[in-house]
Chains A and B, each alone.
Chain A
Amino acid sequence: MVTKESRPPKKWAHCKKQILLGDEADFNLTDVKQKSLKRCLDQRHKKTAHAEAYIMYIARLYADTCPTDGAIMCLPYESVGQFYNEYVMFCKSIVINFDCVAKAECFRLALLSLKGSIRLMTCKGAFQTCDICNNANDMLRGGKCRYSRQQREIILKFKRLHLAQQAQERRHQEKNRLEAAEMTPEGKTVKAYLLSDGMTAMRGDTPKVGGGDFRRGKQDSNCIGNRIIGNYSIYSYLFVSLIIIVAYVHI
Chain B
Amino acid sequence: MIGGGANCMIEIQRQIVIDLAKELHKLGMSLPPTVIFQFDNCGENKNKEMFAFMSLLIENHTFDYIECNFLIVGHTHTSIDQYFGVLSTAIREEKFIGSPIALWHLLDTAHGQENRRPLINRPITVVYDYKKAFEPYLNKLMYYQVPHCFCFRRLVGKAIMKYKLFSSHLSWLPVEPDIIAKSLKDIMASQCDKVKLNPFIIIDGQNNLLLELGLDPKSATAANIISNTSLSEQIMNVRDVTPCLLSIEANSIDQQEQR
Interface: B198 (CB within 8 A): no
Q: Say yes or no for A74: interface residue by CB 8 A criterion.
A: yes
User: For this complex, into which size category does the number of interface residues on chain B fall?
Assistant: 35 or more
A17 at the interface (CB under 8 A from B): no
Taking a contact as CB atoms under 8 Å apart, the answer to whether B19 and A199 are in contact is: no
Are B87's CB and A228's CB within 8 A? Answer: yes
A108 at the interface (CB under 8 A from B): no
Could you mark each residue 191-222 of chain B with 1 if its beta carbon is under 8 Å from any beta carbon of chain A, else 0? 00000000000111000110011000000000
Shortest B74–chain A CB gap in Å is 2
B72 interface residue per 8 A CB criterion: yes
In the complex the two chains form, is B73's CB within 8 Å of A130's CB?
Answer: yes
**Are B72 and A165 in touch, CB under 8 angstroms?**
yes
Is the beta-carbon distance between B212 and A131 smaller than 8 angstroms? Answer: no
A residues 159-192 with Cβ under 8 Å of B?
160-163, 165-166, 168-170, 172-173, 176, 180, 189-192
Q: Which chain A positions have C-beta within 8 A of B184?
A: none
Q: Which residue of A lies closest to B100 (CB)?
A: A248
Segment from A2-10, A41-49, A81-89, A237-245 that makes contact with B? A237-245
**A113 on interface, CB distance cutoff 8 Å:** no
Residues of A contacting B148 in the complex (Cβ-Cβ under 8 angstroms): 169
Check if A135 sits within 8 Å of B248, measured CB to CB.
Answer: yes
* Contact in complex: A204, B74 (CB < 8 Å): no
A76, B204: Cα distance in complex, Å: 20
Q: If A131-B252, A248-B123, A249-B4 touch, does A196 touch B71 (CB 8 Å cutoff)?
A: no
Total of A-B residue pairs, C-beta within 8 Å:
266
Given A154-B213, A162-B202, A206-B97, A245 contacting B73 (CB threshold 8 A): no
Q: Chain B residues near A57 (CB, 8 Å)?
A: none
Docked Cα-Cα span, A191 to B38, in Å, equals: 13
Interface membership of chain B positions 12-23, coded 1 if the CB is closer than 8 angstroms to chain A and 0 otherwise: 110110011001
Question: How distant is the Cα of A176 from the Cα of B79 in the complex, in angstroms?
Answer: 14
Contact A160 B212 (CB under 8 A): yes
Pick the contact of A148: B16, B24, B117, B237 (CB < 8 A).
B237
What residues of B have a CB within 8 angstroms of the CB of A112 in the complex?
none
In the assembled complex, B96 has its CB within 8 A of some CB on chain A: yes
The reply to whether the CB of B27 lies closer than 8 angstroms to some CB of chain A is: yes
CA distance A129 to B87 in the complex (A): 22
Q: Is B35 a contact partner of A191 (Cβ separation < 8 A)?
A: yes
Is the beta-carbon distance between B107 and A123 smaller than 8 angstroms? no
Q: Contacts A155-B245, A232-B79; is A176 near B97 (CB within 8 Å)?
A: no
Tell whether, in the assembled complex, residue B209 and residue A161 are in contact, meaning their CB atoms are under 8 Å apart: yes
**Interface status of A133 (Cβ within 8 A of chain B):** yes
Tell me the minimal C-beta distance from A206 to chain B in angstroms. 7
Given contacts A74-B77, A132-B249, A205-B97, contact A180 B36 (CB under 8 A): yes
Chain A 211-249: CB-based contact to B (< 8 A → 1; otherwise 0) = 000000000000010111111110100110111111111
Say yes or no: is B234 at the interface (Cβ < 8 Å to chain A): yes
* Least CB distance, B164 to chain A, in whole angstroms: 10
- Say yes or no: is B145 at the interface (Cβ < 8 Å to chain A): no
Expressed in whole angstroms, the minimum distance between the Cβ of A77 and any Cβ of chain B is 11
Q: Give residues in A with beta carbon < 8 Å to B.
A: 64, 67-68, 74, 76, 121, 123, 126-133, 135-136, 139, 145, 147-148, 150-151, 153-155, 157-158, 160-163, 165-166, 168-170, 172-173, 176, 180, 189-202, 204-206, 208, 224, 226-233, 235, 238-239, 241-250
Known: A132-B249, A136-B248, A189-B32. 6 other contacts (CB 8 A): A68-B79, A128-B73, A128-B259, A131-B251, A170-B71, A199-B88
